[in-house]
């Protein structure tokens, strides 16, 4: 009797271990059944379709990474207006056909075709229920550093600050002058934050051609501490960063927003109207999924800005 109880408990513990490992895997989703009748169902369906798209991309991460790199080399605009994302991927795969083996090519093409279908469905949803995309993106299931309003998109708090070089910067003017602004929160002694500075500099150059820019906010420099500003500037110079880094007072609206951010690096995408697009990307933008998520947000912001 005693040994069977022992056995059961150890099996249960092992099962718990396995389950908790599985829990951190990719989300699986089932196909939406039937047509959505109202906005809520539409949002649900939208999210399911997005999940499926992400699943495809994460299943062959390295291959898709190559595709994105090829897109970068081509220096294509991230997405032309009105073009289906799946078509964009198909074009890039064709262009970079020589980089892949036949088997890889097949996998990628199939994935891109599926994504094209999903995108068509997503577009149809958007037509039937305008604004569903924003709602699906704006909804977060957990607490964010700032409570997200699930109905309306959130405005990035206004700020009145200075660059690390001392030039005045007004938040509203900055955002309205760009089709898209990528706001990267970091701090000086955070290694992954410093590690992605090179990538952000390149992104800034690319966005500049499309009417956007990257700005950095170093959490240490809030309130204009001279020593931390000096250290930040030295670091930025060493990493070859030319985009603006801004500071403002910690008791301002934006300051409180920044103090509420506790995980770094965190990257927000803001559109021309000063609205935060989607969810912030938390962690260094190193994996293909995160780069993917970022470019999607950027596309969305640019769409909103037209």
Partner 1 sequence: MFQVALLILGVSMVGIGVMRGEADLVLGKAIRLCLECVGIG
Partner 2 sequence: MDNKNIVKNTDNNLNKKSKLLARFRGGIQAAATLVSNINLPNFVKGGIYQGSGKAVCVPGLNCYSCPAASGACPIGSFQAVVGSSKFSFSYYITGFLILMGVLLGRFICGFLCPFGWLQDLLHKIPGPKFSTEKLRALTYVKYVVLVLTVVLLPVLVVNDVGMGDPFFCKYICPQGVLEGAIPLSAVNSGIRAALGTLFTRKMIILAAVIILGVLFYRPFCKWICPLGAFYGLMNRVSLLGIKVNEHRCVSCGKCAKACKMDVDVTRSPNSAECIRCGKCVSACPTDAVSFSYGFAKDTKDIKEIKES
β-pair type (180-186, 212-218): parallel
Tokens representing 223?
């309130």
Binding partner at 144 among partner 1, partner 2, none, C-beta below 5 to 8 Å by kind: partner 2
Phi, psi of 255 (to 5 degrees): -60, -45
Q: How far is the CB of 80 from partner 1 (least distance, A)?
A: 32
- Quick note: the x/- pattern for partner 2 over 240-259, rule CB under 8 A, is -------------------x
* Spatial distance between the Cα atoms of 6 and 11, rounded to a whole number of angstroms: 9
Binding partner at 187 among partner 2, partner 1, none, C-beta below 5 to 8 Å by kind: partner 1
Q: Rule CB under 8 A: which of 190-249 touch partner 2?
A: 191, 194-195, 235, 238-239
Largest CA distance in the chain: 77
CA dihedral 256→262→265→269, nearest 10 degrees, is: -50
Helix (H) or strand (E) holding 216: strand 212-218
* Spatial distance between the Cα atoms of 236 and 234, rounded to a whole number of angstroms: 6
> Where does this chain bind partner 1 (CB under 8 A)?
187, 189-193, 219-220, 262-264, 282-284, 286
**1, 5, 81, 226: residue in contact with partner 2 (rule CB under 8 A):** 5
**Are the C-beta atoms of residues 221 and 229 closer than 8 Å to each other?**
yes
Q: Does 146 bind partner 2 (CB under 8 A)?
A: no
Residues 6 or more apart from 56 whose CB is under 8 A from it? Answer: 111, 114, 115
Helix (H) or strand (E) holding 169: strand 168-170
Binding partner at 76 among partner 2, partner 1, none, C-beta below 5 to 8 Å by kind: none
Q: Does 15 bind partner 2 (CB under 8 A)?
A: no
* Spatial distance between the Cα atoms of 272 and 281, rounded to a whole number of angstroms: 19
**21, 37, 98, 209: residue in contact with partner 2 (rule CB under 8 A):** 21
Binding partner at 219 among partner 1, partner 2, none, C-beta below 5 to 8 Å by kind: partner 1
Q: How far is the CB of 220 from partner 1 (least distance, A)?
A: 7
**15, 17, 124, 151: residue in contact with partner 2 (rule CB under 8 A):** 17
Helix (H) or strand (E) holding 246: strand 246-247
Total residues at interface with partner 2 (CB under 8 A): 36
**Are the C-beta atoms of residues 275 and 300 closer than 8 Å to each other?**
no
Binding partner at 89 among partner 1, partner 2, none, C-beta below 5 to 8 Å by kind: none
Report the Cα–Cα distance between both ends of the chain, in Å, rounded.
72
CB atoms within 10 A of CB 17: 10
Q: How far is the CB of 1 from partner 1 (least distance, A)?
A: 41
Q: Does 10 bind partner 2 (CB under 8 A)?
A: yes
Q: Does 28 bind partner 2 (CB under 8 A)?
A: no
Interacting residues with partner 2 (CB under 8 A):
5-6, 9-10, 13-14, 17, 20-21, 24, 140-145, 189, 191, 194-195, 235, 238-239, 259-260, 262-263, 266, 279-283, 287, 290, 293
């Amino acid at each position: 009797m005693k040994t069977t109880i022992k056995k059961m408990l150890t099996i249960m513990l092992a099962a718990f271990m396995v389950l908790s490992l599985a829990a951190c895997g990719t989300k699986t989703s089932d196909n939406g059944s039937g047509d959505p009748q109202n906005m809520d169902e539409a949002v649900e369906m939208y999210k399911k379709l997005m999940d499926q798209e992400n699943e495809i991309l994460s299943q062959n991460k390295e291959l898709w990474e190559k595709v994105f790199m090829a897109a970068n080399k081509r220096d294509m605009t991230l997405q032309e207006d009105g073009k289906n994302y799946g078509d964009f991927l198909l074009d890039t795969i064709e262009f970079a056909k020589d980089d892949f083996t036949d088997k890889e090519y097949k996998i990628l093409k199939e994935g891109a075709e599926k994504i094209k279908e999903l995108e068509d469905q997503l577009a149809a949803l958007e037509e039937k229920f305008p604004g569903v995309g924003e709602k699906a993106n704006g909804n977060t299931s957990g607490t964010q550093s700032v409570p997200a309003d699930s109905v309306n998109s959130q405005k990035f708090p206004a700020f009145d600050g200075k660059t690390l070089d001392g030039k005045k910067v007004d938040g509203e003017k900055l955002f309205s002058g760009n089709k898209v602004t990528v706001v990267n929160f970091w701090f000086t002694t955070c290694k992954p934050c410093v590690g992605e500075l090179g990538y952000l500099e390149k992104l800034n150059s690319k966005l500049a051609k499309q009417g956007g820019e990257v700005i950095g906010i170093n959490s240490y420099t809030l309130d204009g501490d001279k020593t931390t500003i000096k250290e930040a500037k030295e670091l930025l110079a060493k990493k070859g960063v030319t985009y603006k880094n801004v500071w403002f007072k910690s008791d301002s609206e934006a300051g409180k927003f920044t103090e509420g951010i506790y995980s770094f690096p965190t990257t927000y995408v803001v559109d021309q109207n000063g609205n935060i697009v989607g969810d912030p990307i938390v962690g260094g933008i190193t994996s293909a999924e995160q780069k993917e998520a970022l470019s999607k947000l950027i596309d969305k912001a640019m769409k909103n800005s037209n």
